[in-house]
Amino acid sequence: MSDTQAQTVAFVRETEIPPSPPPIREAGAVKWVRENLFSGWFNTIMTLVALYIILRIVIGVFPWFFNGVWDAGSIRECRDILEGATGACFAVLVDRWDHLLFGFNYPQDAYWRPTLAFVLLILAAVPALFYMYVPSKFLIGTALYPFLAYWLLWGGTLWLPIAVLAAIILTGVVFRLVESMTVSTRTIVAGIVGLVAGVGLAYLLYLGAKELWFISTSIGTGGAFAGLMSLVFKAFSIFTYVFFIPMGIFVGYAIYQSASDGGLVTLVTSLLAIALMMLYAVGPVSGVLNGIIPIELAAVESRQMGGFMLCMMLGAVCVSLSIPLGIVLALGRQSSMPLIKGVCIVFIEFVRGVPLITLLFVANVMLAYFFPPGSGLDLFLRVVIMITMFSAAYIAEVIRGGLAALPKGQYEAADSLGLNYAQATRLIILPQALKISIPGIVNVAVGLFKDTTLVSVISMFDIVGMIRGPIQQSTDWISIYWEPYLFAATCFFIVCYSISQYSQWLERQLQTDHH
Amino acid sequence: MAEAAQMQVSDEVAITIQNMNKWYGTFHVLRDIDLTVQRGERIVICGPSGSGKSTLIRCINALEEHQAGSIEVDGTLLSSDLKNIDKIRSEVGMCFQHFNLFPHLTILENCTLAPIWVRKTPKKEAEETAMHFLEKVKIPDQASKYPGQLSGGQQQRVAIARSLCMRPRIMLFDEPTSALDPEMIKEVLDTMIELAEEGMTMLCVTHEMGFARQVANRVIFMDAGQIVEQNEPEAFFNNPQSDRTKLFLSQILGH
């Protein structure tokens, strides 16, 4: 029985002829080369020029790279080993490996802690990044990670992060409790909370007004400018006394009035609860618990953090904080309530209009003035606040673009089904707006990650700070440039390229308009 | 055709609009609208573009705000109170000219979203309801696809099913067939006719006069923000009263 001959009717083919291969000129590498490299005389010349340039670069770099010295104690030893030949001195990376990764001040016997934190970071990120493939119960691990990482990196007692976690959970309980109260019970709660919040706000404003007056008197009146500034601060101070302090009381009254609706009371009660717990309960409770069952690691201060570890810490914390804050700001800017909209616009425009370096200087020096002596915020926290604010403002604008790109019909369809604002935003608007905004958000995130090297200007020794300071200025490694910077560039490239690849993968996953 | 017109209309009032006025800035879109809709009534609203017919039905579920007069839906007065608005919206279904399905959710998720979140229906029950209505609009086999993978006619039928999943007492249609190819119009109209035959209260902005003749028990003609004329379909088409109506009908029925 033949392949093509039919048994029944002679002229009917029963089996398909296998497809014949295309002509050799139309297939495989030959076709690709002909179409992409030699499609015309101009492209042929360009290909040859490019080949020549690539060849020159390879010839230049290869000896430098492969002659590289990996084992030497100083740059002079390197030169002796090379005996005038071209070659890199990678020995600096080996010699200062710990400093490049952890900074020069982090206790050596504790290097396992950041290393473990880094490994756990990757594990904790998986459920969040690949949420469509990982069961959602693993997200609990992601949520617990920050507390564990804090303990590993800074040390101290484990009870402190546990107490903070407990405070957050308790706040959630308070939220649920107030939400489910009957109106009459909630009115009583609203009365108490309104009183506390109103008086508290008024008191804070009173402190602020006093502070402004103090500044105005300490500026003095020497010279026209100082006199003017003094007057301005006096005016602000009086304005606060006359206008803002009564407003603080009024806010308390407004909270009391909104008891029947519930939303505002619930929110303010929860915020008040967590603020009070953080200020007065968390410290003593963790101290007592640690007295009973001590679980402690040697404490490390923020100033001792450094190297690429510092960049990773700042990058991970600031990216994960600035995206939610950016979403809130973007939604706030779209709000129909003038006060919320105004606050968001002023915040975004102000922060975007200021260079990050000035914000970092403010974090380093100025913020200390705003807090009562002794309660100064940790340096790392101050830097995190500033970088987060900075990138949140950018992310807010990116997301606003995504929100604006959604057809009006999506809002109308959500409304017409009876979804309220929170539901429509969470279920319909944000999933689509964020999907559109992914490239923009990733752009900001990558930029933010690289901007963490700017902390070296406020004498925090991140990887660039380490290279510029302790490494290049040591007598052993004086004036070594290419090798450590190449290493830093490689570290950043690996992380940034991974972020970029992940975002492209995510975009493909979220694509729903193709078959 | 006649049987459709005889479908039961109860005495119960579904919608009462009294002396309603609306402006866009200084532009007066709706002038002194008075309209009472009985439960089970099927009303077709037609008129030239810009006459305010879409705006009128969008006022009924508060997608547009009216500035004067009153609208009462199912005994609930439409005011700026958000709770009233959400209550009315969950009782009133709406289909749009451009379907407005949620492109990031599957067909089934589109249909179960509002019942689960607004009505707090358990997920399984919501999915059963959704499949019931998807079968009714004859596309149960597309349930796991995304809206972007469906044709226009199929999308509009999903949109109808999505509204029905909320078990609305009133359905609003805002030019449901205007964005469709001719061969898809029929499948959507068939679905709407079936819905009408089950006694749903419907307000439909459309230019499908065949549909109006077949299922409507009242046709309303609007021009320049006013209700110019309203009558039963036969009388409306065969014996229009105002010159404006005659001109409009000659233009759309003329070819």
pLDDT, tens only, A98-149: 989 998 888 988 899 999 999 999 999 999 999 888 898 999 999 999 999 9
A416 vs B61, B98, B113: nearest CB: B61
Looking at beta carbons, which residues of chain B come within 8 Å of A432? 102-104
Residue A1 has pLDDT above 50, yes or no: no
| Contact status, residue B226 vs residue B21, Cβ threshold 8 Å | no
Hey, CA dihedral for A148, A152, A153, A154, is it positive or negative? positive
Range scoring the smallest mean pLDDT among A236-250, B97-111, B210-224 = A236-250
Task: Note the pLDDT of residue A367.
Answer: 66
The shortest CB-CB distance from B63 to any of A407, A415, A435 is to A415
Q: What is the pLDDT of residues A115-124, one digit of tens each?
A: 999 999 999 9
Sheet containing B76-77, strands listed edge to edge, beginning at the edge strand earlier in sequence: B27-38, B13-24, B68-73, B76-77
**Nearest CA to A156 among A60, A286, A320, A310?**
A286
Query: CB of A51 within 8 A of CB of A59?
Result: no
Asked whether the predicted pLDDT for residue A221 surpasses 70, the reply is no
pLDDT of residue A26: 65
pLDDT score recorded for residue A373: 61
For chain A, the residue count is 515
Residue type, A257: Q
Closest residue in B to A411 (Cα) is B100
Q: Is A508 on the interface with B (CB under 8 A)?
A: no
Task: Tell me which chain B residues have a C-beta less than 8 angstroms from the C-beta of A410.
Answer: 100, 102
Q: Is the pLDDT at B80 greater than 80, yes or no?
A: no
pLDDT at A91 over 50: yes
Report the mean per-residue pLDDT for chain B. 88
Which among B98, B104, B114 is the nearest to A418, CB-wise?
Answer: B114
Q: Does residue A152 have a pLDDT over 80?
A: yes
Whole-number pLDDT of residue B1 = 41
User: Region A342-357: what's the mean pLDDT?
Assistant: 92
Q: Is the pLDDT at B145 greater than 50, yes or no?
A: yes
What residues contact residue A205 under an 8 Å CB cut-off, 6+ apart? A240, A244, A245, A247, A248
Catalogue all structural domains in chain B, each as residue range(s) with its CATH number: 13-253 (3.40.50.300)
Is residue A82 pLDDT above 60, yes or no? yes
* pLDDT at residue A244 greater than cutoff 70: yes
Q: Say whether pLDDT at A165 is over 90.
A: yes
pLDDT of A38:
83
pLDDT at A371: 63
pLDDT at residue B2 is higher than 50: no
The neighbouring-strand residues paired with B68 are: B21
d(CA B229, CA A46): 75
Mean pLDDT of B117-145: 92
Angle at A32 between CA A31 and CA A37, to 5 degrees: 110
Report how far residue B76's alpha carbon sits from residue B59's, in angstroms, rounded to the nearest whole number. Answer: 14
From the CA of B22, how many Å to the nearest CA of chain A?
19
Of A410, A412, A427, the CB nearest to B63: A412
pLDDT tens for A15-28 read 777 777 766 666 67
Residues A318, A452: contact at Cβ < 8 Å? yes
Chain B interface mutation, best of A336, A416, A420, A430, highest count of B Cβ atoms under 10 Å: A416
Tell me which of B84, B89, B142, B173 to substitute to probe the interface with A (most A C-beta atoms closer than 10 Å): B89
Under the banding of pLDDT at 50, 70 and 90, the label for residue A2 is very low
User: B93 contacts in A (CB within 8 Å)?
Assistant: 416
In chain A, % of residues over pLDDT 70: 92
Of the partner residues A407, A410, A515, the one whose CB lies closest to the CB of residue B149: A515
For A416, the closest chain B residue by CA position comes to B89
> Is A409 at the interface with chain B, CB within 8 A?
yes
Residue-level pLDDT at A40? 85
pLDDT of residue B113: 94
Residue A136: left (phi > 0), alpha (psi -120 to 50), or beta?
A: alpha
Going by C-alpha positions, the residue among A101, A151, A97, A98 that lies closest to residue A310 is A101
Tell if the CB–CB gap between A409 and B162 is shorter than 8 Å.
no
Positive or negative, the Cα torsion across B56, B61, B62, B66?
positive
Nearest-CA distance B239 → chain A (Å):
36
CA dihedral A55, A57, A58, A60 (to 10 degrees): 120
Partner residues linked to B37 by β-bridges: B15
Please answer yes or no on whether A423 and B96 come within 8 Å at the CB atom: no
Write down the domain spans for chain A: 24-66, 93-106+303-515, 156-297
B118 interaction partners in chain A (CB closer than 8 Å) = 417-419, 423
Angle between helices A307-333 and A430-451 (to 10 degrees): 140
Cβ separation B118–A413 shorter than 8 A: no
In the structure, what pLDDT confidence band is assigned to residue A501 with cuts at 50, 70 and 90?
very high
Q: Is the ipTM of this complex over 0.95?
A: no
The shortest CB-CB distance from B104 to any of A418, A420, A432 is to A432
Task: Over range A490-507, report the average pLDDT.
Answer: 94
* Of residues A503 and B254, more confidently modeled: A503
Determine, for residues A416 and B166 on separate chains, whether the beta-carbon distance falls below 8 Å. Answer: no
CB contact under 8 A, A423 and B63: no
Kindly report, residue by residue over A363-385, the tens digit of the pLDDT.
877 666 666 566 567 888 889 99
- Residues linked to residue B45 through DSSP beta bridges, in sequence order: B205, B220
How many CB atoms are located within 10 Å of the residue A209 CB? 19
- Separation in Å, CA of B73 to nearest CA in chain A: 14
pLDDT value of residue A376: 65
In this complex, do A417 and B146 lie within 8 Å of one another by their Cβ atoms?
Answer: no
Give yes or no for A336 touching B (CB within 8 A): no
Inspect the interface and report whether the beta carbons of A416 and B102 lie closer than 8 Å. Answer: no
A419 vs B104: CB contact, 8 Å cut-off?
no
d(CA A381, CA A388): 10
Cβ-defined contact of A416 to B113 (cutoff 8 Å): no
Cα distance from B38 to chain A (closest Cα, Å)? 21
pLDDT per position as a tens digit, B152-172: 889 999 999 999 999 999 999
Which residue from A410, A416, A515 is facing B63, i.e. has the nearest CB? A416
Q: Using a CB-CB distance cutoff of 8 angstroms, which residues of chain A are in contact with residue B148?
A: 512-514
Contact B118 A419 (CB under 8 A): yes
Q: Tens of pLDDT along A253-311?
A: 887 877 766 677 888 888 888 888 888 888 888 889 888 888 888 888 888 899 999 99
Query: Nearest 5°: phi and psi at A23?
Result: -55, 150
Decide if pLDDT at A68 tops 90.
no
Contacts of A438 in chain B (CB under 8 A): none
Taking one residue from A and the other from B, the number of pairs with CB-CB distance under 8 angstroms is 72
Q: What is the DSSP letter of B119?
A: S
Report which of B15, B173, B196, B152 is spatially closest to residue B94, judged by C-alpha positions: B173
Measured between beta carbons, which residues in chain B are less than 8 angstroms from residue A412? 63, 96, 100
Residues forming beta bridges with residue B17, ordered by sequence position:
B35, B71
| CATH code for the part of the protein at A93-106+303-515 | 1.10.3720.10
The closest CB to that of B166, out of A413, A417, A515, belongs to A417
Asked whether the predicted pLDDT for residue A321 surpasses 90, the reply is yes
pLDDT tens digit sequence for A31-67: 888 888 888 889 899 999 999 999 999 998 888 888 8
Q: Does A416 touch chain B (CB under 8 A)?
A: yes
